[in-house]
Amino acid sequence: MIEKIWFDNHILGKLLWPILWPLSCLFKWLASKRKADYQSGKKVSYRASVPVVVVGNITAGGNGKTPVVVWLVEQLQLKGYRVGVASRGYGGKAPYYPYLLTETTTPDISGDEPVLIKQRTKADVVVAPVRSDAVKVLESQGVDIIITDDGLQHYALQRNVEFIIIDGKRRFGNGKYIPLGPLREGVDRLSTVDFLICNGERPKDNEISMRLEPSNAINLVTGEKRDISSLSNLVAFAGIGHPPRFFETLKSLKADVVHTQAFGDHKAFEPTEIENLMQHGEQLIMTEKDAVKCQSFAQSSWWYLPVDAKFPEEKAQQILDKIIEVKEQYGLSSS
């Protein structure tokens, strides 16, 4: 319901305005003050020994940050750089922080997105509520570049390159601050970052177009890859920031979906909860982020659909050139 207030101008927003508006003003004031304290030096921020690239947004909810993080890591790895990823680890509860993921780390420890990034890229991934703590561990691992998954508003950590990911369809909703609207920061923040990435729809003049390109469906048990059009009687579910985006993707692929079920972002699934969905069809299709949480109790009729961030070739090169340029300059300034 809160997203309907934020993005669909639901009548409940008007009814709750007397309560939400003062809270929204308080959130804006606190966020602005905290940022100003770091920028003025009143609060100390950490400067890493290697470049830090922040991939974030100014709105709450999923905008497509993680696919961009994966793309950046993979592209920089191809160029010979050792890349580390820092994350808050939302949805996980590690035995201690900062926590360096291993190949066997589960989402209940680190959260779902860090596990996905680790599995896809094999990069060093560290989670910690205080991102500078994660960054320090990555520095000790000998990485060349650090990418933070989210953290645009984490001003306790200095950064060299900033990305804002924009949901091309929902944009900035009603333009109000949390909890009346989805904003973490004002839209004036858009003019201060290096790259604005528009996920889907038509980008504005100063934005780079990005699309999420799905590949073959992958079986959670066997690892078999199949064209999704060859799967029948599919039950689709998604526990991501904006589930309708996943369902729309399936529709565009002409997948034989007979039932859909949306869950909250980062939801920890119970096995029976997912198994019960099977009463609506013969096979399950889910997002890759959900797959990492269902892997341990998956059945042979369960599949996931991976997606990859795709950019226009010229813009992709522009992004990589900027990061590499910063890396080269950073090395000189640090020596």
The CA-to-CA distance between both ends of the chain, in Å, stands at 53
Q: CB neighbours of 147 closer than 8 A, spacing ≥ 6?
A: 52, 53, 54, 55, 69, 72, 73, 83, 84, 85, 86
**Nearest partner of 119 among 70, 179, 53, judged by Cα:** 70
Residue type for position 11: I
Mean predicted confidence (pLDDT) in 247-270:
89
Instruction: Report d(CA 74, CA 78) in Å as an integer.
Output: 6
Q: Does residue 240 register a pLDDT over 80?
A: yes
**Nearest partner of 246 among 36, 33, 39, 67, judged by Cα:** 67
62 is in an annotated binding site: yes
**pLDDT confidence bin for 335, thresholds 50/70/90:** very low
Give the model's pLDDT for residue 244.
87
Residue 59 gets which letter from DSSP? Answer: B
CA atoms within 13 A on the CB side of 237: 24
121-152 in b/e form (b: 16+ CB < 10 A) is bebbbbbbeebbbbbbbbeeeebbbbbbbbbb
Tell whether domain 216-305 is in CATH 3.30.750: no
Query: What strands lie across the sheet with 99-100, from one edge to the other?
Result: 99-100, 124-127, 83-87, 145-149, 52-56, 161-167, 195-199, 208-214, 307-310
**39-211+310-333 and 216-305: same fold?**
yes
Torsion of CA 321, 326, 331, 333, to 10 degrees: 140
Give the model's pLDDT for residue 8.
76
56 is in an annotated binding site: no
pLDDT 10s digits, 21-68:
999 999 999 999 999 999 898 999 999 999 999 999 999 877 889 999
61 is in an annotated binding site: yes
pLDDT 10s digits, 87-143:
998 888 999 999 999 999 999 999 999 999 999 999 999 999 999 999 999 999 999
Query: Any idea which residue has 């997105």 for tokens?
Result: 113
219 is in an annotated binding site: no
Mean predicted confidence (pLDDT) in 153-166:
95
User: Any bridge partners for residue 54, and if so which?
Assistant: 148, 162
Which CATH entry fits the domain spanning 39-211+310-333: 3.30.1120, 3.40.50, 3.90.1690, 2.30.29?
3.40.50
Give the model's pLDDT for residue 332.
55
**pLDDT confidence bin for 331, thresholds 50/70/90:** low
Q: Where are the alpha helices (DSSP H) in 80-231?
A: 107-110, 112-121, 131-140
pLDDT 10s digits, 307-326:
999 999 999 999 999 999 99
User: C-alpha angle with apex 13: 8 to 19, nearest 5 degrees?
Assistant: 150
pLDDT 10s digits, 183-231:
999 999 999 999 999 998 889 989 999 999 999 999 999 999 999 999 9
Q: Provide the residue ranges of all domains of the chain, joining segments of one domain with +.
A: 39-211+310-333, 216-305
Instruction: Report d(CA 166, CA 61) in Å as an integer.
Output: 11
63 is in an annotated binding site: yes
Q: Does residue 334 register a pLDDT over 50?
A: no
Percent of the chain with pLDDT over 90: 77
